[in-house]
Amino acid sequence: MNAARTYELLQEACRALEEAGDHAIAAYVGVSMAMVEEKYLVGHDHLDPIDQD
């Protein structure tokens, strides 16, 4: 399995669901993203603040 690609696809799905107003489903996808991130150490938490140095 390509964990980075899986994470990327989940991120795209989450964005599309949010834009469509399907916030509950997007939340479940977000949980999946967190699980993939934790287990395979890929991606980043989209809720983390971005350093603006």
Q: Output the tens digit of pLDDT for each of the chain's 53 residues.
A: 899 999 999 999 999 999 999 999 999 999 999 999 999 999 865 555 555 55
pLDDT value of position 43:
82
pLDDT value of position 48:
55
pLDDT value of position 50:
52
- What is the spatial distance between Cα 51 and Cα 53, in angstroms, rounded to a whole number? 6
pLDDT value of position 31:
97
CA atoms in the 13 A half-sphere facing the CB of 31:
5
- What is the spatial distance between Cα 48 and Cα 3, in angstroms, rounded to a whole number? 20
